[in-house]
Amino acid sequence: MPIAKDTRREIEAVLDEGFRLSTSYQSFLIKWMAFNRAYNDLDLGVNGDREKVLAVGKRLQDHWGEVSDLARQLVSLECIGSERVEGSDLLKPTKWMKSATLYLRGRLNLVSPADPRACEFAACRAKKRELCNEGSDPWHEQEMAALLRLVYQVRCNLVHGDKRLAGQDIQTNRDGQLVQISTQIVDRVLELLLLEE
């Protein structure tokens, strides 16, 4: 089967010498590279990128108040997906993503869901709510670990996901918001790591 028409347009756009990746995407990717180097350099006692990101969150928990406004912005958006669902162009949040999101929304007094299976968050599109019908496990870490877990997923989706770089629609605009807020969070985390002795 040949590639889809929208994928073909995407490839043609990025092959065009005039194509420029959004500066917010460039900034996020460069800053994540520095963060990646930092968490690999630290003696965190864990293996794997996800575990290291969570360990940095635990280490920086005392600075939660310095990033809570950014966290509020991030979790006020639609849930961050991470699993492809056949027949949908949207990503479904995993239980981990949903539990971190619900935990932060609760801690920030954005919602108090009686039933974690029933997504009634106003920012979520109806199509996304249909995908988000799975229960979630309780989040067992603190706020900074939950926040960095979400930002890590933004990174994973950007690097490994199916992002649209050319054209504008509701999804690409939302992706841009996620990347912009996540960049500010990584900025602050990098600054905090520099302050450590």
> Containing H/E element for 85?
none
148 found inside a domain: yes
2 found inside a domain: no
Domain that holds residue 93: 48-195
Output the pLDDT for position 33. Answer: 95
Q: Looking at the predicted structure, is the pLDDT value of residue 126 above 80?
A: no
Output the pLDDT for position 36. Answer: 96
83: which strand partners? 92
Q: What pTM does this model have?
A: 0.86
In tens, the pLDDT along 59-112 reads 999 999 999 999 999 998 888 887 777 777 777 778 888 889 889 988 998 875
25 found inside a domain: no
126 found inside a domain: yes
Mean pLDDT over all residues of the chain?
Answer: 84
- Judge residue 170's burial from the number of C-beta atoms within 10 Å of its C-beta, 0-12 exposed, 13-18 middle, 19 or more buried: exposed
22 found inside a domain: no
C-alpha to C-alpha distance for 17 and 169, rounded to whole angstroms: 23
67 found inside a domain: yes
> Containing H/E element for 92?
strand 91-92
